[in-house]
Structure 1
């Protein structure tokens, strides 16, 4: 039964992966169906063979993955109702939280007028003022452009089309004339959550000076405030950028740190605190699709601290991935956050325990040994993907992560309490704020110190995709080989 599950899951994900890169004709689908029929007939004539059955299941699941992705592509392109470079006037609703940058803001608008019967979505760049918020009904006028992939500074091609495709965004509009029609059409629950988040951010900005306030906002509620180009570069060079931006990788490490630092408590209480921490974070951020995916991965990662049956966690992890991809097939290839959170969870579940065996010299106080092992394990498992996507490796990242990550749960707790109390009384919130500011200053000190180290970050040439496949093929083979060797050793001993 367990094998059947992984055969079906692997076949489905492979089908989605294949269709994400290659198109398939009706003739191709017919060939696949005939292959399934032929395999089934052979299996029946051969008095039922599990190997043949597994092949048939894999091919069938592959076909389902291809069909699901084909449907997703059809639904996406059906919403392309404008021509490239066309000047349009439409009315729509802001369907996501407004993304405020240094000198402009980004609105995600779902069109609900004119010929847009299929809920076409636009990514609209506007000045910071006047301000807009989630749920506002707005009138837009401007030139629409289809997103295009572009070359990054490292020489890699960033698939911007796929990046927006996973968010179901068909067009960009800039510059644009935007008029607020002063009608609130958003989900009242999401509007309330985002209102709480904004109140918290305003409170923390009064209690903690910049840039520490921006870092606290990113850690606690995933706020997209900018730290400035200099600090962002420093965080990137030291390999700690994942705590600045909202990502599944960040949430997985933070959740694991919460559980590790409460390991002295009864198992149920520690796990509940971790789950509540993740749920609270998801709620404050707004519980969007990206956050929900990251939260599921983070909770599975936390279970690895308490469960001693890795295969149960692997099954849960694969099932979560299949459900997420079934809901939105584009996340498998076009969502780096999904990929990083999946790999980070793999690192926590399967790699971290092996690292911990060689870290006996690290004290167990406050779960430090587990945090160090988790840090090295996740860094290792996400490294090939980061090298492929970004082309830079931080040589000081393991040390910086070990020095900073143990303090992240405390900073989050202090900042959260300070912001909540500060909404009602800045005076009573000040002690929590300054304790949080002290730890935030320590983080900036570590980042500043290590970013000045020569060759802290090394740029690498463009890496071929087959190198990525080889890297991630070696990890499961090594794990399987070690497990098989141990099993054979046990049999020989007996």
Structure 2
């Protein structure tokens, strides 16, 4: 068997074991015993090494998840439920209209991370050493998996907080976050509120300044992902940038320009772990597009996903961003060529509109059940909104980088660069507004699992039939 097939099926088996351990724990022991027995029989008696190898991969995934879970829980020492004073380092912070949330790494005598919700009258910053007085609540079962995949073990709501020291975090990360804050401030000075907010979302994934009206318009139009720091967002943007640069430069130079844009994006957004993961998934999608061969791409996809899950097994089932990234990546690599073959269209079209249309359609068809099951709604007109907006995303991002860089030299220069950016942002906001008013949503109260299996089975059949040229 070819090496890429071994890599692909090994990763698939291992992730299947992680999946089983994550979603149906009472069956773990039975599945492990059955898999072990099957592996022994096929290895020793029937010499079917492939089946036995896959069974061992499933066992490895199951036990790896359980070991990770045990080690993670044993590393924590937190005084739950009692009024106490704790001390810790702020390692993440999110501003909200009337509050702020901070992830705090506790210091001796306690161990572990907690999430603190506090008022905004005194803003916390990355690297602050704080003292908080209050009670730490254990995680509620309904939200436990969401917090645990981020390594958070408890919550604290509106305690009394005092900042004792500042600047104690990682120096590089502090510098990157300061750059990000400076760029956001530059956008706000150079552009009107909604345009500045949209540009901050597109280039930095920063959405704290979004108005309620803009947030609702993006939700209704199906364009929210453009400002979310997920591989779904970054993949679509990468391929849009590649489509534009590919018209003027060679494939190799176009790929290098796109990779440089991704690195710049990661730096500007603060190089958070979730951003780096999303960027890696996006780059893998670009590599898959460049290779234009599914057999070369699927092994790369599986290696990437397996490596991320090895680092944090909870991502596979409990991280929506990872799921959107992974499914969109599969859609772009596998479903996009099938759609192009079905419609007999392999030309990019004027301003690459066909390329953007197939990319967006493939990504959205791949993630549709997940979006519908998670949010309860999916817009049938989102494809058209995304195709129209994506036409201006590459140049808007480029102008955003220029405005951000100019802001470190002169606010006047940033304002000048903001003039053309304002035109493209105005167009994007207009498209978002139109498709927010004229939308065709599908709404469900709950997503039947049988429908999900049927949906992806039909997609797999479609790919098998029409993507043969890429296999």
Which TM bucket (shorter chain)?
over 0.9
In structure 1, the partner of 2:434 is 449
Contact 1:263 1:367 (C-alpha < 8 Å) held by counterparts = no
Contact 1:450 1:456 (C-alpha < 8 Å) held by counterparts = no
Choose from 44, 47, 51 the match for 1:41: 44
Choose from 21, 34, 37 the match for 1:19: 21
CA-based RMSD of the aligned residues comes to 2.3
Which TM-score applies when normalising by structure 2? 0.93
- The correspondence of residues 232-311 of structure 1 with structure 2, limited to 5 A, is 232-264=215-247, 265-311=249-295
* Greater Cα shift, 23-32 or 131-140: 23-32
Contact 1:310 1:350 (C-alpha < 8 Å) held by counterparts = yes
Task: Say if 2:1 is the partner of 1:5.
Answer: no
Relative to 1, partners in 2 of residues 1:482 and 1:442: Cα closer, same or farther, differing over 3 Å?
Answer: closer
Displacement of 1:359 in angstroms is 7.1
Describe the SS at the equivalent of 2:175: helix
Contact 1:166 1:331 (C-alpha < 8 Å) held by counterparts = yes
Distance in 2 (alpha carbons) for counterparts of 1:226 and 1:430: 19
Displacement of 1:282 in angstroms is 1.2
Task: Say if 2:309 is the partner of 1:325.
Answer: yes
Structure 1 residues 303-339: Cα deviation after superposition (integer angstroms, max 9, x where no partner): 2332221111111011100111111100000011111
Distance in 2 (alpha carbons) for counterparts of 1:475 and 1:257: 24
Displacement of 1:423 in angstroms is 2.2
Task: Say if 2:426 is the partner of 1:426.
Answer: no
Distance in 1 (alpha carbons) for counterparts of 2:360 and 2:467: 23
Gaps of 5+ in 1: 150-158, 488-494
Distance in 2 (alpha carbons) for counterparts of 1:3 and 1:259: 29
In structure 2, the partner of 1:353 is 337
Displacement of 1:360 in angstroms is 4.5
Contact 2:288 2:296 (C-alpha < 8 Å) held by counterparts = no
Contact 1:136 1:180 (C-alpha < 8 Å) held by counterparts = yes
Task: Say if 2:404 is the partner of 1:414.
Answer: no
Contact 1:388 1:465 (C-alpha < 8 Å) held by counterparts = no
- The correspondence of residues 87-486 of structure 1 with structure 2, limited to 5 A, is 87-96=83-92, 98-114=93-109, 116=110, 119-148=111-140, 160-264=143-247, 265-357=249-341, 358=343, 360=345, 364-453=349-438, 455-482=439-466
- The correspondence of residues 56-71 of structure 1 with structure 2, limited to 5 A, is 56-71=52-67
Distance in 2 (alpha carbons) for counterparts of 1:196 and 1:105: 20
Describe the SS at the equivalent of 2:25: coil
Distance in 2 (alpha carbons) for counterparts of 1:464 and 1:320: 29
Structure 1 residues 401-445: Cα deviation after superposition (integer angstroms, max 9, x where no partner): 111011111111112211210222111222211211121111111
Structure 1 residues 84-135: Cα deviation after superposition (integer angstroms, max 9, x where no partner): 5332311111112x11111111101010122x2xx41111111123122111
Distance in 2 (alpha carbons) for counterparts of 1:459 and 1:180: 46
Relative to 1, partners in 2 of residues 1:485 and 1:398: Cα closer, same or farther, differing over 3 Å?
Answer: closer
Describe the SS at the equivalent of 1:105: strand
Describe the SS at the equivalent of 2:126: coil
Which TM-score applies when normalising by structure 1? 0.89
Contact 1:260 1:368 (C-alpha < 8 Å) held by counterparts = no
Count of matched residue positions in the alignment of Structure 1 and Structure 2: 466
In structure 2, the partner of 1:156 is none
